[in-house]
Amino acid sequence: MKTTYREAVREAIREAMHRDERVFLMGEDVGRYGGCYAVSKGLLEEFGPERIRDTPLAESGFTGAGIGAALGGMRPIVEIMTVNFSFLALDQIVNNAATLLHMSGGAFNVPLVIRMATGGGRQVAAQHSRSLEGWYAHIPGLRIVAPATLDDARGMLWSALEDPDPVILFEHVLLYNMEGELPEQAGPVSIEGAAVRREGTDVSLITFGIGVFKALEAAEVLAEEGVSAEVLDLRSLRPLDDRAILETVRKTHRAVIIDEGWRSGGISAEISARITEGAFYDLDAPPARVCGVEVPTPYPEHLERAALPQVPDIVEAARGLLSGGEGDVA
């Protein structure tokens, strides 16, 4: 059936709530308004206000309530409208959700799922355009996943709800309108491991989220020049799939890492380090990185485009590796 990323996420929530009465959704505007991105539209009418809970504009408060509900045996889905607002809940996420299992000596799991919209590209300026997946991937005790495809958007939620520990799902805002075909019987999808989205032999394009589709487009451009690019969708940022990353690099001997987040201290740096630690002698060139420019995301469209990784940037970085030059674009 034809559907959108938004509808795939909505159907995943609906199915989870039918399958398990302990599942409920809470967050800002998820009920009567139908969600800031219309993901939860219609769910209040279907499940009622006990299971589709509108909350005050208080991220720390309702995230903490979600942690408490998880400790009490429920399976909450907490929607934080945008990753930028998650700063207000950092104490709950980092100091409580991520640490309680360890600090209780293994006595208390926190089966909490947090959904966050992430990324730029919509002209909503610096306070609403950050990509902070790498920040959260730094934290032990959290599982970080970034569904890019319709299959993953539809299937990862149930797997996340079955995990006994906190899972954060990052949904890039530009993916919500993406259309495609999805089997009507689509079921749960693993939240572990990367996936090769395009086979190639000359250079590996390693990325996640919206970057997957930019990398696929870049691979098409490179193919016209006789370059075979492999596209690896990381899917999970914590834990990273080291095996898949090293396998693709050993196959192509060159790697371009694409991340909308900033270059300094970002997830791209971690991936680059793991490649050089694990496949140094397989490399024909140093790993290249295509990242967001290190400025607050601009509001004007032309400046915003310039600040975020684009297809020509990925193509340029790959060409640089193949020609023996430097590939980094920041």
Q: Are 146 and 209 in contact (CB under 8 A)?
A: yes
Our CA dihedral for 186, 188, 194, 200, rounded to 10 degrees, sits at -20
**291, 266 Cβ separation under 8 angstroms:** yes
Give Cα separations from 293 to 91, 134, 196, 305 (angstroms): 28, 15, 27, 10
φ, ψ dihedrals at 164, nearest 5°: -75, -5
The C-alpha torsion from 291 through 297 and 299 to 305, rounded to 10°, is 0
User: Looking at 7, 15, 28, 59, which residue is catalytic?
Assistant: 59
Continuous segment of H or E residues that includes residue 301: helix 301-307
- Please name the residues in contact with 322: beta carbons below 8 A apart, sequence gap of 6 or more: 202, 203, 227, 254, 285
Catalytic residue among 7, 28, 79, 128: 128
Q: Is 128 a catalytic residue?
A: yes
Active site residue 102: no
User: Do 174 and 33 form a contact (C-beta atoms < 8 A)?
Assistant: no
Catalytic residues: 59, 128
